[in-house]
Amino acid sequence: MSDQHSFETLAIHAGNTADPLTGAVVPPIYQVSTYKQDGVGGLRGGYEYSRSANPTRTALEENLAALEGGSLGLAFASGLAAEDCLLRTLLSPGDHVVIPNDAYGGTFRLFAKVVSRWGVTFSVANSSDPAAVRAALTPKTKVIWVETPSNPLLGISDIEALAGVARAAGVRLVVDNTFASPYLQQPLALGADVVVHSTTKYMGGHSDVVGGALIVNDAALGEELTYHQNAMGAVAGPFDAWLVLRGIKTLAVRMDRHSENATRVADMLSRHPRVSQVLYPGLPEHPGHETAAKQMKAFGGMVSFRVEGGEEAAVEVCNRAKLFTLGESLGGVESLIEHPGRMTHASAAGSALEVPADLVRLSVGIESGDDLLADLKQMLG
């Protein structure tokens, strides 16, 4: 599949070559652990053991690389497995990382409770301000980590500006692109060194698989990551890889519809008397709106808002949902609602990443926008 093709075409065809044996137009689920060798070391397709490589996973990995404009994609058992592999590839005891003050709670927990035990230190900085990130660098810094839009506050960071800060300091810029997906934003083209995904979310898109990915452009780093992926072993299984590859085929049309519905939801909420603040980068009053408009094709499907009346009022709104499903996660075709303070971000309580207690987060799905607005109106009473 040539890189000349447009995103929509690559999403459907990259990595999806017809099965050489049968002509099946979709890569089969190679549910297999090992491969017959024609004489010792005589591998037929380069495959010897499915932790190292599996044809269904290879199809997904080629697709991921094409969509992010990278030279290599790697698929993992979850987003956090991808992050763990990346961090233990890039970092050694004594190294330092700058992490954002707004990030997925599990990412923060990985730094604070796991990686820090191995002698890696981190500082928290407001990544929507490149000068604040620059100020947080130390001589030991190896990585700047950023998530944009961020979870759950929908903060926007200027990837190009942060890539400049990283390059000047000789450190690597990692971008968690889960909220945007490569259809809306391509961090490698803006100067990032590594893209991270929880493919559980928009890439899979149907709330039926947990997975993660890393995409890079640098061949040497790609080799190191491939080595660690195999050495650490948290790979995506064949069926999971197949589900993500299947989901990606409709990513472009889904993201258009997610963005359209979320724009309508954000507009309605910003005029609702019970809502004190709406966090959506598509709103002109959002502090990151201009940056988002510059680096994103549309503003995505995630909307957060604060409810008048504090924590209990916010919880009450969530509990009244009918069409929106009360649940964690995001990025599926069905709309979800949650209370980050008590659900996804409970692990950030008491830290610099604690979220407001009156915050509600929506993953706006691709149902009828009218039906979604009606449900939100009845929830807010």
Ligand X SMILES: *Cc1c(COP(=O)(O)O)cnc(C)c1O
Q: Which residues bind ligand X (CB under 6 A)?
A: 78-80, 104, 106-107, 147, 151, 176, 178-179, 198, 200-201, 210, 212
State the minimum distance, in angstroms, from the CB of residue 8 to ligand X: 24
Tokens coding 90: 């890039």
**C-alpha gyration radius of the chain:** 21
CA distances from residue 40 to 32, 43, 49 in whole angstroms, order as listed: 19, 8, 14
Identify the three-state secondary structure at position 182. Answer: helix
Q: Taking the complex as a whole, how short is the minimal distance between the CB of residue 83 and ligand X, in angstroms?
A: 7
Q: Which residue is nearest to ligand X (CB)?
A: 79
Residues in contact with 377: Cβ distance below 8 Å, sequence separation at least 6, in sequence order: 268, 272
Identify which of residues 187 and 212 has a Cβ nearer to ligand X in the complex. 212
Q: Scanning the structure block, which residue is given the tokens 């990551």? A: 225
DSSP string, 257-274: HHHHHHHHHHHHHHT-TT
Give which of 72, 73, 70, 66 is closest to 2, Cα–Cα. 66
Active-site residue flag, 227: no
Find the catalytic residue in 84, 95, 158, 176.
Answer: 176
User: Residue 212 or 282: which CB sits closer to ligand X?
Assistant: 212
Q: Closer CB to ligand X, residue 9 or residue 347?
A: 347
CA 296 to CA 237: how far, in whole Å?
31
Q: Which is nearer to ligand X, 210 or 355 (CB)?
A: 210
- Tokens 């990585």 identify what position? 143
Annotated active-site residue 375? The verdict is no
Which of 308/334 has CB closer to ligand X? 334
CB of 208 to ligand X, least distance (A): 13
Sorted by sequence, the CB contacts under 8 Å of residue 197 that are 6+ apart come out as: 64, 79, 82, 176, 177, 178, 181, 203, 212, 213, 214, 215
Alpha-carbon gap, residue 292 to 237, rounded angstroms: 34
Active site residue 249: no
CB of 206 to ligand X, least distance (A): 14
| Min separation Cβ 211 and ligand X, Å | 6
Give kind and range of the element (H or E) at residue 370.
Answer: helix 369-380
Residues 6+ apart with CB under 8 A from 208: 243
Location of structure tokens 């269904």: 56
- Nearer residue to ligand X within complex by CB, 202 or 324: 202
Q: In which element (H, E) is residue 86 found?
A: helix 79-90
Q: Tell the smallest beta-carbon distance from residue 210 to ligand X (Å).
A: 5
Q: To the nearest whole angstrom, how small is the minimum distance from the Cβ of residue 336 to ligand X?
A: 12
Smallest distance, Å, CB 368 to ligand X? 25
Q: Is 274 a catalytic residue?
A: no
Closest C-alpha among 206, 195, 198, 205 to residue 236 = 198
Which C-beta is closer to ligand X: that of 78 or that of 335? 78
Q: Which residues contact 79 (CB under 8 A, 6 or more apart)?
A: 104, 106, 178, 196, 197, 198, 199, 200, 201, 211, 212, 213
Alpha-carbon distance 39 to 123, whole Å?
53
* Number of Cβ atoms within 10 Å of the Cβ of 381: 9
Our CB check for ligand X shows the closer of 171 and 214 to be 214
Residues designated catalytic: 51, 104, 176, 201
